[in-house]
Structure formats: structure tokens, C-alpha cells
Amino acid sequence: MLACGILEDGNRILFLTRKNKLGVEYFELPHALLVKGDNPVAALTKTFLSGTGIDAQVHEIILEAKHNIGSRKRKKFIPAVAFKVTSKSNRVSLSPQFSGFRWVPRDEVGKLKLARQAEWLWHT
């Protein structure tokens, strides 16, 4: 299962960014790929802390769909869920694995170049 966390500040959603080898920037949500028996709430809490420095409180599932972990030609779908996330402080202390972060207004998310693990959220 793929578990993503959606942290909102007003009408904005926190996205992390990475650049590929060509310098193209992709946007993704904090996420965890889980195996059977993993606790998604614990995994997302750990992911938020290690990736953003945010002490997240993971709440209810707000979206469920399927995510393709295979190729575009040879599809393999797994369950994907998005959880509502809150925190006392939204101050980001970014992990070196990311090139940056951005608070994106909800109505502009469809214009972003999303990373593969976030595509399912806006194409369901």
C-alpha cells in the first residue's frame, strides 16, 4: 500500500520537490510504501519527521484509490490512501534528499509536474 499525507495550511498543501538528472523538478507528498502488516499512521508520522522535520499528527483517510507501481506499459496496481495530517508547527526543516518544498494552493495542484507516487491523487 502507498500511504500519503496531506498537510494543509489554509487552502495550501505542502509538497516536497526533487530534481531529476536533467534538472526537472517534480512535486510529491510525504509518503510511505508499506508492506502487509505495517502501520500506515506510524510510517507517515516517521516519514514527516525525517523528511520535513514536522511532528505530524496523522488523522483519517480522506482519499482512497489505486496506484500503479509497474510501468506505464505493464501496470501493477496497489491500494493507495491519503491521510489528513495536522501539526502544531508547519515550519519545514527539509531532508537533504529533497531539493525544496512549496505550499501550493489547492486550485493550482493540477498544474504541477507531479512525481509518480503523487499522480494518482489528482487522476482518480
DSSP notation for the chain: -EEEEEEEETTEEEEEEEE-TT--EEEE--EEE--TT--HHHHHHHHHHHHH---EEEEEEEEEEEEE-S-SSS--EEEEEEEEEEES-------TTSSEEEEEEGGGGGGS-B-HHHHHHH--
**Superfamily designation of domain 2-122:** Nucleoside Triphosphate Pyrophosphohydrolase (3.90.79.10)
Give pLDDT, residue 123. Answer: 60
Residue pair 20/98 in contact (Cβ under 8 Å)? The answer is no
Give pLDDT, residue 2. Answer: 94
- Domain extents for the chain? 2-122
Give pLDDT, residue 110. Answer: 87
Q: What is the rounded distance in angstroms from the CA atom of residue 6 to the CA atom of residue 73?
A: 29
Give pLDDT, residue 95. Answer: 95
Angle at the Cα of 87 (from 67 to 79), degrees rounded to 5?
15
Query: pTM higher than 0.85 for the full model?
Result: yes
Query: Letter for the amino acid at 47?
Result: T
Give pLDDT, residue 72. Answer: 80
Give pLDDT, residue 86. Answer: 97
Each of the 124 residues of the chain gets a pLDDT tens digit; together they read 999 999 999 999 999 999 999 999 999 999 999 999 999 999 999 999 999 999 999 999 999 999 888 888 898 989 999 999 999 999 999 999 999 999 999 999 989 999 988 888 766 5
